[in-house]
Amino acid sequence: MDEPFQLEVACLPPHCPVTLRSTLCSEGNDLWESFSHYVSDERGRVNVSKDDSLGGSYIGCEPMGLLWSLRLAVGGRQNIRLRKKNMQTPLVVDISLFDGHTIDNFNTQTALAMTTMERWYMAPGVRRIEVRENGVVGTLFIPPGPGPFPALLDVWGLAGFMEHRAALLASRGYACLALAYINHPELQLGSGMGISYFQESWKLLQSVPQVSADRLGLLGSCFGAAIFILMASELPDISPRCLVAINSPSGLLNPGEGNYLEKLQRLLPETKLDANGHFMIKDAILAFGIDLERSLQAGGIQCPVLLIVGEDDQCVPSLESAQKLEAQMRAVGKGHLVTKLSYPEAGHLIEPPYHPVMRSSSFILPGQTVTLLWGGVGKPHAAAQEDSWRRILEFLDKHL
């Protein structure tokens, strides 16, 4: 899924206007689509890796635009994220070519040509093992071969459990435990597990025979990243080789206590809405839920830290949190351990490369569903996903 592809069209008349359309049917049976307008060259060819799209879902030279610009089709469900749940099957993307510059009614037209791509998160030979041990709930992905492998704990934010990034990391040579800690039916506390749960998960990963127990790292997004920063800074029995934190609201609502969803719900009456009625939680968190002056025991962080920040994050104050952590690390003489990547027009949901860019989507809280504004502008956000993933893999290769 993180590998680019090349798409070319041949045997057209010279200077012929055409439309390329990509479609994907999700596991929830929702149709996602994107389209782009091109004009063939004097040889009757279009090369998406080199040629500019003149209109449609994106404009300009975007080799992977037909993936990252996928949107839910009109007439179907809206405001939902594309979530791949079954890692043992691929995402199947159909690409069709149409005559002329078309913007709708594709189903009434006959395609000039079609091709199908499979996009996999799990490489051949990667093993997927469900984990239900000592109260820990998750899925372990192990690369091909005997090991021992460097390993990672991987957690997301309050939206809940996802496996796709862990599967992709295992495809790159890391044993990776995708950890559930919230909104999962098998957890003792569905609204969010406390810090002792993550300590137990760390011990479990260390005990896996195929894992090199002294080469463990932490990788988290949003609130999961905030929990990992707390672990690395304040828990002496947790000693990661490195830490990756993506849009972390470190300091938010005391991550050691659990029950995170109820605490988040208390912020909603103070939350601003944008012109579309989407909740912009960031300002409410800054005003009521986050203590940027809370002094993490930053001196306790012994490992290199990679902070990834979307400056258009409308969900949590990730930029402010990153700046505060940087300052705390410098104050104790550990500024050299911190690398910050800041992307001006990227939003909150920084996924692995080529994942569809979502500026807003539905979010389930106890007793209600709201639409959250995540932020992010199409092309710059997609570029941030691609660049940050490359930098993450380089960082892990160096330190794990």
Provide the annotated active-site residues. Answer: 222, 313, 348
Contact 51, 8 (CB under 8 A): no
Dihedral in degrees, nearest 10, Cα atoms 389, 390, 394, 396: 20
- SS3 of 279, please? strand
The strand order across the sheet containing 113-119 reads 71-72, 31-39, 17-25, 91-99, 113-119
The structure tokens listed for 344 are 């001006």
- SS3 of 118, please? strand
CA nearest neighbour of 1 among 70, 99, 97, 78? 70
CA dist 227 and 252 (Å) reads 9
Residue in this structure with the two tokens 């899925």, named with its chain if needed:
139
Classify each residue of 25-60 as buried b or exposed e, where b means 16 or more C-beta atoms within 10 Å of its C-beta: ebeeeebbbbbbbbebeeeebbbbeebebeebbbee
CA dist 30 and 269 (Å) reads 32
CA dist 365 and 66 (Å) reads 32
What are the CA-CA distances from residue 231 to residues 50, 218, 250 (Å)?
A: 45, 10, 11
Contact 21, 104 (CB under 8 A): no
Contact 377, 348 (CB under 8 A): no
Q: Are strands 31-39 and 113-119 parallel, antiparallel or unpaired?
A: unpaired
